[in-house]
Structure 1
Amino acid sequence: MQHPPKFSRSLDRRFVKLLQKRVRQYFKENQISTHANSSMITKTIVMLLLFLGPISILCSGIVTSGWMVFLLYITSGFGMAGIGMGVMHDAIHGSYSKHSKLNTILGYSMNIIGANATVWHLQHNVLHHTYTNIHEADDDLNMPFFLRFSPHKKKYKIHRFQFIYVWFFYSISTLAWITAKDFVRLTRYRKMGLIEDKKEFYRSLFHLTLWKLAYYMYAIVLPILVLPFSPWLVILAFISMHLVTGLVISCVFQVAHVMPDVNYPLTDNQGNIDNNWLVHQLLTTSNFSPKNKTFSWLIGGLNYQIEHHLFPNICHVHYRDISPIVRDTALEFGIPYNQKSTFTGAIADHIAMLRNLGR
């Protein structure tokens, strides 16, 4: 990637050292690992079964009711979202286990649900986490022209209505993912220099294609062949699964960064960001619904996005416990700690932000 933004190493060093020290002390004093615990293992099993169970029933051909086809696919859609938010996310960050091979294996759950772990790592770990909310550097902001997620992106008249039509595009986001988006991004990352070796690129492209074909085979082709229904009914049910998954995942991820209270910093002429990287994460990220334990468990702890961005190497099951440490330390140094008390409140603020970006 040409001339990536650079963060200050001299600013807020005392804050950074103290925060990291306090978080380390928490795990040391409580004698617990920063990686997965029994709750995380249970969640992994539940989410994998929630996705693979209904798909397996559909592939068996024993379903005799059309509405059951829709119910099974939609149920599988929730499992797909659970895998995306609560299993592969930690694994690809390397925070699930201290064993890299196990992280790699569980990271392939991304491929099982039709996406691609390699592309996700580059888009999410490298570009989004490193350059959060930085125009043209954070790939989560690089949306088609009809969506404007940054105040620094060119504005069009159509953006006035994006707070209305964005929900459609959120819903079809995983459909785009399993079809074109991974191929487009893999090619773009090659041009950006994120994949330097030509052989590595073609190997990744080959593996990506094989995984996609395998997913299409068991997720839709096999059910069409064995179920006693019109192919169009099965296809519509399959699309319904992705509409559920896309909407759930998009809402959870977008309310962390496209919000009224967060920053969208610009680099200076030399490509510098006038902040330490950890402070930058606090200024560009927002938490939501911190008191709802069940909701947090279901969405992979992503309501604690601040903690996740500061410590992506820590498994999400620990975010709730370290969040008071992060909050108190940030406020002690006069650094904002953005948080919405409810998910519905976060969605409302997200809508308001989309409207503001379109005006």
Structure 2
Amino acid sequence: MKNIRFDKTGTGEFSKTLHSRVNSYFKERQKNTYGDRRMVLKSIFMLSVFFLPLAAIGSGLVSNTLLLFALYVLSGLGMAGVGMGVMHDAIHGSYSKNSLINKYLGYSMNLIGANASVWRIQHNVLHHTYTNIDHGDDDINAPFFLRFTPNAKHYWIHRFQHIYIWFFYGLSTISWITTKDFVRAFRYKKLGFFKKKGEFNKVLLKIISWKVLYYSYALVLPLIMVPLPAWIVILAFLSMHFVTGICISLVFQTAHIVSETSFPKPNEKGLIESQWISHQFATTSNYAPKSRIFSWLIGGLNYQVEHHLFPNICHVHYRKISKIVSDTAKEFQVPYLVKSSFLKALVDHVKMLRQLGKA
């Protein structure tokens, strides 16, 4: 990855105005930017939906195949909820003003089989800084059979990616709990992360330790306790992750890989010819802004524009500040991308995948 930079010329008046108005919103209402009791209740709910079905499975009381699959799938929905509505804010440091609370709730990422340290680099650093930039944003740096940007190399197989993509979206968290964290940890080390002496070895040890813990209660214990053939238990376990993978992939991908978003390419000097804030508006799209229940379930990630501009603000505030962001963008004639529903965003995502597969 070359040293990618953003244009810093200009007055930056739009950025100053936007941040001033958002800060005034919180100051005038005497609110802080962190989570509140709504986050506590959501955390209890999502963690319960994830852990309670696994506890029931591990108790040995489940002997019906259909019930086993139902409990694992329910746990998969809880896993997605923990990822989008608890862990996400915690690792961004926006869950609480107490850094220890953010740290320990961030470990919920580890409890669902992935690794918080690796994800922090992938998401907080690379995705948020270099959104939709090939070789910069690790969310679009995909295997050769997937093409998420027009700047990536095209292969003939891409013409079918809008058909087979669903299978690989479903496999995404299975990849996380097996190889992805290790592959990316080594890659990030080469990119200059984990510089402190012994840090990389500690990261590897933590990845292994957390995964052993996760497999112990999510798969090994059920294999021991459930009076059904092992292959049925393993298939049910995989179905849990398939549901989680589909949920998480679609929520994140429909915010960036759609027809209206751009995929800027740095010049030969590594310069992106726009300011960072303008880049975020150009590469990110909201959807379903009026759907409060849906927004609650996915951790406010339908307000992806607000999240990219203010990742240090908890998602429970996004709906309110979105009006400030959209009005300010309109005033400064900055495009503010939004789809009225998740279905429209999803349809457009498929359309974009087909387009990327043709050229």
What TM-score range do you get, normalising by the shorter chain? over 0.9
The question of 1:141 aligning with 2:140 is answered yes
C-alpha separation in 2, matches of 1:21 and 1:160: 46
Indicate the residue corresponding to 1:221 in structure 2.
Answer: 220
Q: Deviations over 1:174-233 (max 9, x none)?
A: 001100111100011011112223510010000100000110010000011011111111
Question: Whole-Å Cα distance in 2 between the matches of residues 211 and 260 of structure 1?
Answer: 39
Cα offset for 1:66? 1.6
Instruction: Trace 1:307-346 onto structure 2 (pairs within 5 A).
Output: 307-346=306-345
Contact 1:155–1:358 under 8 Å retained in 2: yes
The corresponding residue for 1:296 is: 295
Residues 247-258 of structure 1: pairs in structure 2 closer than 5 A: 247-258=246-257
What residue is the counterpart of 2:131 in the other structure? Answer: 132
The answer to whether the 8 A contact 1:252-1:303 is kept is: yes
3-state secondary structure, aligned to 1:314: coil
Aligned residue in 2 for 1:272: 271
Q: How does 1:149-228 map to 2 (within 5 A)?
A: 149-228=148-227
Task: Give the Cα separation in 2 of the matches to 1:198 and 1:142.
Answer: 28
Q: Distance in 1 between matches of 2:10 and 2:151?
A: 25
Q: Which amino acid aligns with 1:11?
A: G
Give 1:95's aligned residue: 94
> 1:4 touches 1:137 (CA, 8 Å); kept in 2?
no
Report deviation, 1:348: 0.3
Map Cα deviations across residues 267-291 of structure 1 (whole Å, 9 max, x no partner). Answer: 1222111111111111100000000
Question: In structure 2, what is the Cα distance between the partners aligned to 1:215 and 1:7?
Answer: 40
CA shift for structure 1 position 106? 0.3
Give the residue type in structure 1 aligned to 2:228.
F
Output the CA distance in 1 between the equivalents of 2:53 and 2:97: 31
- Relative to structure 1, is the Cα distance of residues 65 and 164 closer, same or farther in structure 2, using a 3 angstrom cutoff? same
Q: Are the counterparts in 2 of residues 114 and 178 from structure 1 also a CA contact under 8 Å?
A: yes
- SS of match in other structure, 2:327: helix
- Residues 65-121 of structure 1: CA deviation (Å, up to 9, x unaligned): 121111110000000000000000000000001111110000000000000000100
State the match for 2:14 in structure 1: 15
Shift of 1:11: 2.9
Q: Which runs of 5+ in 2 are unaligned?
A: none
Cα contact 1:11–1:275 (8 A) shared by 2: no
Report whether the alignment pairs 1:122 with 2:133: no
After TM superposition, list the pairs within 5 Å mapping 1:228-247 onto structure 2.
228-247=227-246
Counterpart of 1:173, as a letter, is: S
CA shift for structure 1 position 4: 2.4
Offset at residue 352 of structure 1 (A): 0.4
Q: Runs in 1 of length 4+ with deviation above 2 angstroms?
A: 8-12
Decide whether the 8 Å contact of 1:135 with 1:152 is kept in 2.
Answer: yes
Deviation at 1:171, TM superposition (A): 0.6
Secondary structure at the counterpart of residue 198 of structure 2: helix
Superposed displacement of residue 9, structure 1: 2.4
Shift of 1:8: 2.2
Q: CA deviation at 1:3?
A: 4.2
Identity %: 57
Per-residue CA distance 1:145-164 (angstroms, 9 max, x = gap): 00000000010100000000
- What one-letter code is carried by the residue in structure 1 that aligns with 2:277? L
Deviation (angstroms), 1:12: 5.1
Give the alignment of 1:23-62 within 5 angstroms: 23-62=22-61
Aligned length: 358
Q: TM-score scaled to structure 2, two decimals?
A: 0.98
Task: Tell me by how many angstroms 1:10 deviates.
Answer: 2.7
SS in 2 for 1:172: helix
Structure 1 spans left out of the alignment, 5+ residues: none
C-alpha RMSD over aligned residues: 0.9
Deviations 1:294-348 (A, max 9, x none): 0000000000000000000000010000001001101111110000000000000
Answer yes or no: is the 8 Å Cα contact 1:35–1:96 preserved in 2: yes
Code of the aligned partner of 1:296 = S
Distance between the aligned counterparts of 1:16 and 1:294, measured in 2?
31
Task: Give the partner amino acid of 1:67.
Answer: L
TM-score under structure 1 normalisation?
0.98
